[in-house]
Structure 1
Amino acid sequence: MAEIIASLHDAGKKFFFHRVLKNINLEVKKGEILGLIGPSGSGKTTCIRCMLGMEDLTEGEAFVLNEQMPKRKVLDRTGYMGQETALYGTLTAYENMVFFGQLKNLSKETLQTEIDKNLKLVDLYEYRNKVVTQFSGGMKRRLSLAITLLGSPEFIVLDEPTVGIDPKLRLSVWNQLSALADEGKGLIVTTHVMSEAEKCDRVALLVDGEILAVGTPEDLMREFKAASIEEVFINMEVET
């Protein structure tokens, strides 16, 4: 049985009197990509932020790399890419990579290798000396992804990572994510692109703060009598 990299146990979250997550039980295993899909406002972002300890749970527990969250030291072994870019606009792409790489305590030699590798992955290497304020929205997303992957984190959390990225580069990114899973990393990815969900090893369906089903894309297609994950998504919304 694959090792569990991260998990939520009986997790619940309230914002004031509004319940956002209800009795969430979810695991991310070593060597897999877990896709988290659901309608807008279903709680996907809150779910992954609670798993990382970035949001306090109202109920239940979160664990990452065998540590109960929040635990600051664990964050050096994780990579997180949120929906909002957190970049320094007056710095170049390269300077942003150096800054965030130093926060991860990467050696100078390792950092240089990681910067070159990841900038090439997201097709930004030739723009490495360009100031970020001159980047398009899609370029900023790609740079954020490159920063997230610095240091080969063991647990990688990506909140809609390919928004604004063209189809050809999106395929390249997903090939790299699959390669990371093959190396034994654990990844959880939220997405609204159903063809991306089909690339995941398992998919969790989140609706109104509750997990309705978890399984391989093939299992979910059988369960919901669907020919694709997009049809699963549509059938799920009809049933709820």
Structure 2
Amino acid sequence: MSVVFFREENREKIETALQGLPFLQSGKHSKNLSHYERIFLARTIAKLPVGMVGVISNKLSLLEYLPQASSTPTHYYNKVSQYLLERVSNALSVCGISRESVSIRLEARDQQYSSLISFVKRIQTTPLDHRAASLRGLNPFSIIAVKKKDDRCFILADCASNALFSMVCRDEKRFCLPEPRYLQELAPIILSNKQGEIMPFGIKPIHKLEDLGLPEDVKLHLKALRNPQRQYHLLTT
């Protein structure tokens, strides 16, 4: 899962850039684009005034911690969303952005979004882990579900999530090979620490990289990701 940040005042500029890409005119999801269309989309997004954070999870590694995840997708969705929202809250805190000035749009799917809001509120009141306390920096009522067709900027998060998935996907049709190119193209907009290291500041493995069950070459790709821009940890977009 991923979140892409941008200031509302930049929306028109972002939408204009996206509308200029002919392969997006049919409303395609980024996973249905060709390889080179995905690369070009990622490269285009990396030049826009946006920022990105993401999380990578392995459902099997969460089952001991969250046994309900096997019975309903809502539990799993809410838990992974929690980790993602913690990344968002941390980024806003570093940048000194008020929680009241933020609107969080999630793609409307067959999920109970009221349960996510209740889940976030419960964690804010009684966090079970010190890391979850960062969620207090978010207003749970700023979370709204919007249909993809109603917000052209959802393609930004689609591209980011597809880039994460393509890095860790073990698809036999792809010969179980990772595809790091999309993430590499997006690296200039992914939150990092002051040294430019993206993992785990901009991309958080749940709970740690070893829990994802990834081959060594994929782990090395993720560890090597760097944001080449200076002070990108300040989310200056």
TM range (shorter): under 0.3
TM-score normalised to the size of structure 1?
0.24
> Where is the strand percentage greater, Structure 1 or Structure 2?
1
Q: Which has the higher helix share?
A: 2
TM normalised by structure 2 equals 0.24
